[in-house]
């Protein structure tokens, strides 16, 4: 039984979504960000950065959204989301996961927490730079889309990460859906029943329900 520490719509969403897709038994632990539950000592023992997600796997905490997606895909390979060593798409898979985690995720961090890098006085400049970086990634994803899904004909762990990150652009000046191939891609991903289900379970009503 897995246990997922989450906050609605946060970086835990992709993990929650994959847990539903693979049909693994899990329980949820909601962290109230307003109450700073993610900075409480008992949670910091699990996740010293005070971030979500944390997934308890075989009794031990594992952090980092991208790592968790790859781990779950590998542990539940029958669900078909893994790209194992030796597979022809392996290099593209590793590249996609690390590119999204290293490039797009930190840019969103800067967009949503613009005071962090250089204080409130520089928040506008940080946001502008973050927006430019995010839009440059969307240019590239739009160009690189290898088929109906990120790596081609089938959904992999990379699609969970990409879709969650893309969702975060929904209220930005240029949401990802303004890129034509990304819009078609999102149409396919957003039709997945488990993505609709995770929105319902996390009480999210925009983007999918709205």
Provide the binding-site residues for ligand GSH, judged by CB under 6 A. Answer: 10-11, 38, 50-53, 63-66, 105, 109
Q: In the chain, how many H helices and how many E strands?
A: 9, 4
Give the integer Cα–Cα distance in Å for 192 and 100: 21
| Rg of the chain taking only CA atoms, in angstroms | 17
User: Of 112 and 181, which CB lies nearer to ligand GSH in the complex structure?
Assistant: 112
In order of 8, 14, 37, 104, 159, the CA distances from 164 in angstroms are 12, 6, 23, 11, 8
Distance of closest approach, residue 39 Cβ to ligand GSH, in angstroms: 7
Which alpha helices (DSSP H) does the chain contain, by range?
Answer: 13-22, 41-46, 65-75, 90-99, 105-112, 123-144, 157-167, 180-190, 193-201
Query: Residue 103 or residue 154: which is nearer to ligand GSH going by CB?
Result: 103
CB of 116 or CB of 139, closer to ligand GSH:
116
Longest dimension (CA), the chain: 50
Rounded to the nearest angstrom, the gap between the alpha carbon of residue 58 and the centroid of all alpha carbons in its chain is 22
DSSP state of 25: -
Structure tokens at 176: 């990802």
Of the pair 64, 159, the CB lying nearest ligand GSH is at: 64
Q: Shortest approach of ligand GSH to residue 78 CB, angstroms?
A: 25
Give whichever of 64 and 89 is closer to ligand GSH, judged by the CB atom: 64
**Cβ partners under 8 Å of residue 60, min gap 6:** none
Are β-strands 60-63 and 2-6 bridged in parallel, bridged antiparallel, or unpaired? unpaired
Measured from the CB atom, the residue of 112 and 183 that comes closer to ligand GSH is 112
């Amino acid at each position: 039984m897995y246990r997922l520490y989450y906050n609605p719509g946060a970086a835990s969403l992709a993990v929650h979504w994959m847990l539903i897709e693979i049909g693994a038994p899990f329980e949820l632990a909601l962290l109230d960000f307003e109450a700073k539950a993610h900075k409480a000592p008992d949670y910091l023992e699990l996740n010293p950065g005070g971030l979500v997600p944390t997934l308890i796997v075989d009794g031990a905490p594992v952090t980092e959204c991208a790592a968790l997606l790859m781990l779950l895909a590998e542990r539940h390979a029958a669900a078909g989301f893994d790209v194992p060593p030796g597979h022809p798409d392996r290099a593209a898979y590793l590249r996609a996961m690390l590119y999204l985690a290293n490039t797009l995720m930190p840019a969103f961090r800067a967009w949503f927490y613009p005071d962090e890098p250089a204080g409130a006085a520089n928040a506008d400049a940080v946001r502008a730079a973050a927006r430019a970086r995010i839009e440059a990634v969307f240019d590239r994803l739009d160009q690189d889309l290898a088929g109906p899904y990120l790596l081609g004909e089938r959904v992999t762990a990379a699609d969970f990460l990409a879709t969650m990150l893309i969702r975060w652009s929904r209220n930005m000046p240029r949401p990802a859906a303004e890129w034509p191939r990304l819009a078609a891609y999102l149409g396919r991903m957003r039709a997945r029943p488990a993505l609709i289900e995770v929105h319902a379970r996390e009480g999210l009503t925009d983007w999918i329900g709205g």
